[in-house]
Amino acid sequence: MRDPLSSSKGAEPPLESDGAAEPHTRKRKDSLGSTLLWALLVALAVRTLLFQPFHIPSESMRPTLEAGDYVIASKWPYGYSRYSLPLGPDVFDGRVFAGLPDRGEVIVFRAPHTGGQSFIKRAIGMPGETIEVRGGVLFIDGAEVPRGLVGEDVRLNQRGEMRRYDVYEEILPGGVAYEVLDLGAGDLDDFGPVTVPAGHVFALGDNRDESRDSRVPSPLGPGPIPLENLIGRADLVLLSARPDFSLWRPWTWYRLRPDRFARSLDAEPG
């Protein structure tokens, strides 16, 4: 018995298609488009609600953060504002599920004086507190924040200048300890006293003499940070590379800094 789909004269060639009658091809294209759309929506939700990566371009948070670090910030600890959204569209005011940073946490925020630029500093002063700096020493509500000399750091800065820094351990009220750099006498060594306005936090860079932070008023610096401008809490250095590293230049790959990979920025009391 002959195969009913065959012919003694040979198999009949398939009919040509005009392209409009290819349901399987259309289904594959529709499926791919749907998958890409869902992947985009999931990525957008993760970036908006959960985590966002940031690249550190400057040395203002040394020694905690180095230029070339890639930091992951958690978005939920302080709630959500329009700055939680990509590009920060002006779609609503204030914060949803708002929360204050804990003192000593490393915060990422949209700098009020730059429009679209994000900054990263350490939360030092809470609303209503009085902040003062005398001879490089920090005071909160009139009480000196203890610090002790732990060493020195001599290196070229980003401008190619050789600098010698004293390294201090500073211990905030509550016990959070971290290291700060001090170049000696500088323009920002004496500041205040000022009271942190309601709805704001006061933030400092750990590299005290090379940081534009809440000591510097607009338009040159951010001044106190509106809570609405908070983006998230920096929790982890995911990767790190020297600023002259490039993924597209394999001969620079040795400039990765694996000793800084997966480094926690947890501000728990020491």
Active-site residue set: 60, 121
Residue 70, CA atoms < 13 Å, CB-side half-sphere: 15
CB atoms within 10 A of CB 86: 10
| Three-state secondary structure call for residue 49 | helix
Helix (H) or strand (E) holding 263: strand 263-264
Q: What is the DSSP letter of 256?
A: B
**115 conformational bin, left if phi > 0, alpha if psi -120 to 50, beta if neither:** left
Q: Tokens in use for 74?
A: 């958690």
First to last CA, the chain: 87
Integer Cα distance of 230 and 75 in angstroms: 9
Helix (H) or strand (E) holding 23: helix 23-45
Question: In whole angstroms, what separates CA 222 from the centre of its chain?
Answer: 16
Strand intervals (E) in 135-196: 137-140, 143-144, 147-156, 162-171, 177-182, 191-195
